[in-house]
Amino acid sequence: MIQLYIPLNFLGVIYREIKQSLTDLDKMFGLLEREREVADAPDAKVLQVQGAAVRFEHVSFAYDKARPILHDVSFEIPAGKKVAVVGPSGSGKSTLARLLFRFYDIDSGRISIDGQELRSLTQSSLRRAIGIVPQDTVLFNDTVAYNIAYGQPGATQAQVEAAARAAHIHGFIAATPKGYETMVGERGLKLSGGEKQRVAIARTLLKNPPLMIFDEATSALDSSNERAIQAELDAAGQNKTVLVIAHRLSTVVDAHEILVLEAGRIVERGDHEALLARQGVYARMWRLQQSGAAG
């Protein structure tokens, strides 16, 4: 009996392990399922960029059907203009950016660039047209040069350096013993939040896409670093169509339109002056940040 018990117990352990790996496989297929959703249509076309005007029409979206995130969101970014999205944490700001990059397909509505619906386009042509400077840049365990040139394999050293200069990270790189050949990331040189963002800005400048998405860092950079990065982002976004996910209202003052998102709905919209005059959510956020900045 005892002899029989031990192997069964042992089998129990194996059974649990197999069950666990099946669960993992399940998760993996779950992910693939999601991936498949954003597969190219058989007749997918290459995006033809004119000015990269963006249009969201009645867009609704949920990551999980039981919990809708965006509700009937409509806005436009005219070619070469900047639209900013502000709102509390979890209101769906980054989700808008992910949908524009087509990480996910929407549940209803339409998203288009220069009149071409995202779902009708090849993902490669869409992603070539968009540059993202994310909140938290994850660097590859590779050289600084590789990280800046990522996505542009043909870039020359001179182009990489020019982008790094424009993003004000060249001096820092040049001061390291191996310069652009310095390994960065988990197993290499650790960069600060601001330095990583500059690498992301350099990468985007090198890519030079007509449409840019800036997802401002929530993590506190010191304010001089913050202002410098802001100036670099402004320069990078010149004459481009820009969607800014903003946490600091000082960075949205010059936006063509500001969208105030709350729980996945646009509750206010307009330019800075119009929104201040409205004396609503935005005006309150502005006063709060101003008094925070003064204090």
Using DSSP's 3-state secondary structure scheme, residue 110 falls into strand
**Residues pairing with 133 in the sheet:** 214
Which string of x and - marks every residue 11-50 that binds ligand ATP (by CB under 6 A)?
----------------------------------------
Number of chain residues interacting with ligand ATP (CB under 6 A): 11
The least distance separating ligand ATP from the CB of residue 183, rounded to whole angstroms, comes to 30
**Which residues, other chains included, contact 156 with Cβ-Cβ below 8 Å and sequence gap of 6+?**
none
Q: Is 69 in the site for ligand ATP (CB under 6 A)?
A: yes
* DSSP codes joined into one string, 111-127: EEETTEEGGGB-HHHHH
Q: Is 241 in the site for ligand ATP (CB under 6 A)?
A: no
**For residue 61, which of 105, 103, 115, 7 has the smallest C-alpha distance?**
105
Which string of x and - marks every residue 83-122 that binds ligand ATP (by CB under 6 A)?
----x-xxxxxxx---------------------------
Dihedral Cα 59, 63, 67, 69, nearest 10 deg: -40
How is residue 251 annotated by DSSP? G
The least distance separating ligand ATP from the CB of residue 252, rounded to whole angstroms, comes to 14
The least distance separating ligand ATP from the CB of residue 262, rounded to whole angstroms, comes to 10
Q: Is residue 230 within a helix (H) or strand (E), and if so which, with residue range?
A: helix 223-236
Q: Is 258 in the site for ligand ATP (CB under 6 A)?
A: no
Q: Is 82 in the site for ligand ATP (CB under 6 A)?
A: no
Q: Which residues bind ligand ATP (CB under 6 A)?
A: 63-64, 69, 87, 89-95
